Amino acid sequence: QVHLVESGGGLVQAGGSLRLSCSASGRTFSSYAMGWFRQAPGKEREFVAAIGRSGTNVKYADSVEGRFTVSKDSAKNTVYLRMDSLKPEDTALYYCAVRLSISISTMPAAYDYWGQGTQVTVSS
């Protein structure tokens, strides 16, 4: 059984930083792409960042480019999202997801397994 668990969310002031973690169990995800998405109340789930199998192929949403960094530790089956210079508009429930493919995607429908999410709240 596949299980993804996000952690690291919380309340932070604008300009602050957080690091989210996504630990995977039940399957070795080192061969697959993983992504981070977020969903704010009343809005659709949106792409944040993705990382490919090798860890060198990464992609970011324009809104977080230069502020967020995605990385992975294959030995720990864990993916991270480092978030710097946080803004109030970054407030959302953040999800990690795994795509059973070597290629990354920005589309939520392309991902096969999802975690339950971790809340990030940025105060102004």
Per-residue pLDDT of the chain (124 residues), as tens digits, is 679 999 999 999 999 999 999 999 877 677 789 999 999 999 999 999 999 988 889 999 999 999 999 999 988 889 999 999 999 999 999 999 999 888 999 999 999 999 999 999 999 9
pLDDT for position 53: 86
pLDDT for position 13: 98
pLDDT for position 30: 73
Find, among 81, 92, 2, 86, the residue nearest to 35 by Cα: 81
pLDDT for position 28: 67
* Whether 80 contacts 94, CB under 8 Å: no
pLDDT for position 26: 76
